[in-house]
Structure 1
Amino acid sequence: MLLDRVYQGDDAAFGTLYRRVSPMARRAAHNIVRDSHAADDLVQETFYLVLRAVRSGRGPRDSFAGYVLATVKHLAYRYCKTESRTVANDDPDMWERHTDIVLPAAQTERVTAAWASLPPRWRSILWLVEVDRYSPAELAPGLALTPNAVSSLASRARQALRTAYLATD
């Protein structure tokens, strides 16, 4: 059986399974996301995750195709959820009308300076958690961290931003 050979480290067997199952996985992803490029990306990510799971002994044991389909559907629904948070708008006045907080110029400069003083990793995690509203559980796999570690990282970044803001008097 091909799957047994994959568990034994046979990359050619995984390639065969990929060729057999990837068209079905691509159709499933495309039916959910309705974007060919996103579907292709999701299929690639799916097979990467499945191969990683197999190599660590956690992957599918019976139905390789079922496991792949479940994984690609999960990723596709997560992608759709993430995309629904994105608002495309070419009207700059819209941002003015929907801005709840207007800071004095001096305070804006302090915020900008504090933000710029943070390391890129902290700025990135703060943006993802506070602006894009991702949960630590959603971010953890992509950052190769546990959800608790993501929460801790965000907490340290918040504290560093607060400290930097207060130090810019």
Structure 2
Amino acid sequence: MAVAAALGDRVAFETIVHRYGPLLYGYVRRMISDCDAVDDVVQETFIAAWRQIHNYRGDAALKTWLFRICDRKIVDSRRVRYAEPIDDRLLDPINPSAAAQDPAVVVSITEFLAALERALAELPVRQRACWVLREIDALTFPQIGVTLKMSPGAARGHHHRAQVTLRQRMQRWQR
């Protein structure tokens, strides 16, 4: 698909956008709080990817390559304006039919997600990025390392520190 896009195949690139756009959007949404900036960063990521697709060598997975571009765009966005702590939902909203089944469960999940959101917002940016990429987007430590321009060991260390901090801050929710 990347090869066809590099040769100018717009349909192949549209397939890339449709496949990876939601993942990138979710990542950016968790990394910056300005909703307008989220859309801009994702759009800028794909514009940069389209312009650079001929440079994609396949050393890393296409997904990782896109996340790396995206991470640079997030940094660029932060340079323009300082980011505020995230205030969007970590996960998709709860299914309304679940509320009809057990309102107590829905309230508990909502409270948990709000607490997790606050705890994530307090993490240093690199720790938050490593945690989100690992736990939400299911990237491996080598992929995270490539994405964030750090060694896999550094990615693992940031992720570990994030986990320790989150575990402490989320103690109320542990059984």
TM-score of the superposed pair, with normalisation by structure 2: 0.43
Instruction: Decide which structure has the larger Cα Rg and report it.
Output: 1
Give the number of the structure with larger relative contact order, counting CA–CA contacts within 8 Å between residues 6 or more apart. 2
TM-score of the superposed pair, with normalisation by structure 1: 0.44
